[in-house]
């Protein structure tokens, strides 16, 4: 890519971002769009626009984001969101502090050398931007000392800021866990690998007696995990027909007019997707199915509670200090029996996984690690292939019929600027979906400069403007939504989506780290990505996204380790690059990855235990009210086992009356 194409890419991306920002300012000021641009505030009962529409200007959101505090973010979106902003701030700080030294020192060293006269790339050409990189340094040159010192500077800055961030996130987590508010997960533990039931006891009697003996004063009661596959299916069908009935009634009510006060009753066919089969009155049909499913659900609930018990349980204590202590204690002599873990939030439990035995869990964990490692390794091959294949020269070579189109100068400039980056973005979009599933079971610096620019200008422009969610909402509202529940579902935004957002950010971290010394001009682009991301996502966190869970910053150690992994990859890359430059002191780079590993080890020893389990001094803080243990217990009853007829007490009764087992 030549310099003209690079500037075209950068300028066009910036213009698109400005257009999208203006579009956002206009659309977000329309009252009819409030549910798209301010759903978080609406759900919390706040005024979408404080001060009214007339007091706002297109840049009001920037001031509001900049003046917001960490406490504001926690109040609106939780601790996890605040921790995500610690990540953005930390990386931004690393890049700014690195750039302050690297840009004024390394760029003059590169520009004033003439290494390109004696060196060539694989195709014998250099772009103008290569003059700003380490590629323009003559082999064996004493100027390489500047780049060598820069490697140490970036590493030291990263160590210092990561330490500060880990310490701050630890404080945030402790403050959240000290909260005087009652949280069900702080009074419960998950127990797995329960041994065979002794003769003459039920599973519940076995669990109750075991924990009552150990914690006689604070043990409350247990909930045996059951196989809910069948009851879940019935419950989901019941929910489907309940929603369908509400929709049919809304359609029927809307059909009543002055000219036709009796209205038109909706009908549907009972066959596949409502396209074939007998035609019936929808309201009557749904009522019949609901009555039938309610009876089946009640019957299956009793069967599930009595006959489908698993070797796992949720155990409740009346003290959160005892629950915290129990979650990190060894309860049995053998590690594969009576395994105890912290209880997550009720809606975060993956019930079918609780029955998986200890050694099977260990095997699955290492198998997933292996598959992920292979996936990441082999993705390097297709990424390199796509990066090379989608360059304009190669496309003309392999697809000669497009040559007349490519020869159009304006079109050629645009294609050179965007084609490889768009291809890579589309290709990488497939990776997070695969990694999410597993969790439950030739570019140069110029290429990456335009890739990063495209990511932050176009990506964050679309994030801010929310054009796609806006269009989808209005289409659903006009043609699909008939009830208030359907309308609310149409605009409910979900959370920030850390599972896909953080991996995308980490890709940028890795790219910028690896090229920070080789081509320091990439640093401002990385800083813009994280700075603009901080600004745009601050607005979204305060007004748009609604968290679906809260782990109190438990994701930070994983983010920390991935930043360190990117740093080590950068250090190894620099070792290899210095080697190709025939720098005699290249071995002096080797201490850096060793220092990174030592730093990671020290951080893990100092900070990580408090992320694995809540510290007892934190759990010992006073609550503002006596916990209602019935409500805490009820929070963990799966939705498919809840009903007016089967409440918490009935669940315990049913479990207690399970058939006695015979000796094994």
In the chain, where the domains are located: 3-17+72-180+375-617, 184-228+308-344+628-656, 231-300
Q: Residue 204 — pLDDT band, cuts 50, 70, 90?
A: very high
Instruction: Give 376-434 as a DSSP string.
Output: HHHHHHHHHHHHHHTSHHHHHHH-GGGHHHHTSHHHHHHHHHHHHHHHHHHHHTHHHHH
The predicted structure's pLDDT at residue 75: 93
Q: How far is CA 533 from CA 70, 419, 540, in A?
A: 16, 23, 10
Strand, helix or coil for residue 315: strand
Question: pLDDT tens digit string along 23-39?
Answer: 898 888 888 899 999 99
Question: pLDDT tens digit string along 82-139?
Answer: 999 999 999 999 999 999 999 999 988 888 876 655 444 434 444 566 777 787 888 8
**Do residues 231 and 651 lie in contact, with contact meaning Cβ atoms separated by under 8 Å?**
no
Q: Is the pLDDT of residue 617 over 80?
A: yes
| Overall average pLDDT of the 315-343 stretch | 93
What is the phi/psi pair of residue 583, to 5°? -80, 120
Question: pLDDT tens digit string along 557-610?
Answer: 999 999 999 999 899 888 888 888 888 898 999 999 999 999 999 999 999 999
User: What is the share, in percent, of the chain residues with pLDDT greater than 70?
Assistant: 80
The rounded mean pLDDT for the chain is: 83
> Looking at the whole model, is its pTM more than 0.85?
no
**Do residues 586 and 572 lie in contact, with contact meaning Cβ atoms separated by under 8 Å?**
no
Cα–Cα distance for residue pair 508/373, rounded to 1 Å: 19
The alpha carbon of 631 is separated from its chain's Cα centroid by a whole number of angstroms, namely 29
Cα–Cα distance for residue pair 482/242, rounded to 1 Å: 14
608 DSSP 8-state letter = T
- By DSSP bridging, strand 309-317 and strand 219-226 are antiparallel
Dihedral, 334, 338, 339, 345 alpha carbons, nearest 10: -170
Q: Is the pLDDT of residue 172 over 90?
A: yes
The predicted structure's pLDDT at residue 408: 64
**Do residues 167 and 173 lie in contact, with contact meaning Cβ atoms separated by under 8 Å?**
no
Q: Is the pLDDT of residue 435 over 50?
A: no
Q: Which residue has the higher pLDDT, 626 or 5?
A: 626
Question: pLDDT tens digit string along 359-414?
Answer: 988 898 888 778 766 665 555 555 555 555 555 566 566 566 566 665 666 655 55
The predicted structure's pLDDT at residue 105: 92
Cα–Cα distance for residue pair 509/529, rounded to 1 Å: 10
The predicted structure's pLDDT at residue 579: 85
The predicted structure's pLDDT at residue 438: 42
Continuous segment of H or E residues that includes residue 219: strand 219-226
Strand, helix or coil for residue 518: coil
The predicted structure's pLDDT at residue 552: 92
The predicted structure's pLDDT at residue 531: 94
The predicted structure's pLDDT at residue 240: 93
Q: What is the CATH number of domain 184-228+308-344+628-656?
A: 3.30.70.330
Question: pLDDT tens digit string along 207-261?
Answer: 999 999 999 999 999 999 999 999 999 999 999 999 999 999 999 998 888 888 8
What is the phi/psi pair of residue 329, to 5°? -110, 150
Question: pLDDT tens digit string along 40-79?
Answer: 999 988 888 765 555 466 788 899 999 999 999 999 999 9
The predicted structure's pLDDT at residue 374: 67
């Amino acid at each position: 890519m030549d310099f003209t194409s690079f500037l075209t890419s950068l300028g066009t991306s910036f213009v698109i971002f400005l257009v999208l920002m203006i579009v956002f300012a206009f659309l977000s000021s329309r009252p009819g769009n409030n549910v798209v641009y301010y759903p978080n505030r609406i759900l919390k009962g706040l005024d979408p626009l404080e001060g009214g529409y007339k007091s706002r200007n297109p840049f009001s959101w920037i001031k509001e984001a900049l003046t917001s505090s960490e406490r504001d973010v926690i109040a609106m979106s939780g601790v996890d969101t605040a921790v995500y902003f610690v990540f953005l701030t930390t990386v931004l700080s690393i890049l700014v502090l690195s750039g302050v030294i690297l840009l004024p020192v390394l760029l003059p060293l590169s520009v004033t050398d003439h290494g390109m006269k004696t060196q060539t790339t694989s195709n014998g050409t250099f772009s103008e931007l290569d003059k700003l990189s380490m590629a323009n340094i003559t082999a064996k040159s004493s100027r390489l000392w500047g780049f060598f010192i820069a490697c140490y500077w970036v590493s030291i800055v990263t160590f210092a800021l990561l330490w500060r961030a880990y310490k701050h996130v630890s404080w945030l987590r402790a403050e959240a866990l000290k909260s005087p508010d009652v949280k069900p997960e702080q009074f419960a533990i998950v127990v797995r690998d329960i041994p065979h039931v002794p003769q003459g006891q039920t599973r519940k009697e076995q669990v109750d007696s075991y924990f009552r003996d150990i914690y006689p004063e604070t043990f409350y009661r247990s909930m045996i995990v059951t196989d809910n596959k069948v009851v879940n299916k019935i419950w989901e069908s019941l929910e489907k027909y309940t929603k369908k009935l509400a929709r049919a009634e809304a359609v029927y009510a809307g059909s009543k007019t002055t000219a036709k006060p009796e209205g038109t009753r909706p009908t549907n066919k009972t066959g596949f997707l409502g396209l074939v089969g007998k035609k019936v009155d929808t309201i009557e049909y749904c009522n019949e199915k609901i009555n039938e499913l309610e009876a089946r659900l009640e019957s299956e609930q009793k069967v599930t509670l009595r006959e489908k018990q698993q070797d796992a349980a949720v155990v409740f204590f009346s003290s959160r200090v005892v629950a915290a202590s129990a979650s990190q204690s060894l309860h049995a002599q053998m590690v594969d029996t009576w395994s105890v873990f912290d209880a997550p939030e009720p809606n975060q439990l993956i019930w079918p996984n609780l029955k998986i035995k200890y050694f099977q869990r260990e095997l699955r964990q290492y198998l997933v690690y292996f598959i992920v490692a292979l996936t990441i390794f082999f993705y390097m091959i297709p990424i390199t292939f796509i990066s090379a294949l989608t360059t304009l020269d190669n496309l003309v070579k392999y697809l000669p019929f497009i040559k007349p189109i490519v020869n159009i100068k304006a079109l050629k400039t645009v294609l050179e600027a965007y084609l490889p980056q768009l291809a890579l973005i589309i290709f990488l979009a497939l990776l997070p979906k695969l990694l999410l599933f597993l969790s439950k079971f030739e570019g140069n610096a110029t290429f990456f400069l335009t890739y990063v620019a495209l990511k932050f200008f176009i990506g964050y422009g679309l994030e801010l403007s929310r054009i796609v969610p806006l269009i989808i909402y209005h289409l659903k509202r006009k043609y699909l939504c008939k009830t208030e529940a359907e309308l609310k579902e149409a605009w409910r935004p979900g959370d920030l989506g850390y599972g896909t957002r953080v991996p995308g950010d980490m890709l940028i971290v890795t790219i910028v780290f690896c090229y920070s010394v080789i081509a320091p001009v990439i640093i401002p682009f990385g800083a813009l990505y994280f700075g603009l991301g901080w600004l745009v996502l601050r607005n979204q966190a305060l007004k748009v996204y609604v968290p679906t869970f809260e782990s109190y910053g438990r994701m930070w150690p994983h983010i920390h380790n991935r930043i360190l992994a990117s740093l080590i990859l950068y250090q190894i890359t620099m070792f290899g690059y210095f080697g190709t430059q025939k720098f005699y002191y290249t071995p002096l780079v080797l201490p850096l990855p060793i220092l990174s590993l030592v730093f990671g080890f020290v951080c893990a020893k100092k900070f990580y235990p408090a992320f694995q389990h809540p510290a007892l001094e934190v759990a010992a803080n006073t609550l503002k009210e006596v916990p209602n243990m019935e409500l805490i217990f009820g929070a963990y009853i799966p939705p498919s086992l809840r009903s007016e007829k089967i409440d918490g007490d009935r669940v315990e009764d049913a479990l207690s009356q399970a058939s006695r087992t015979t000796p094994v």
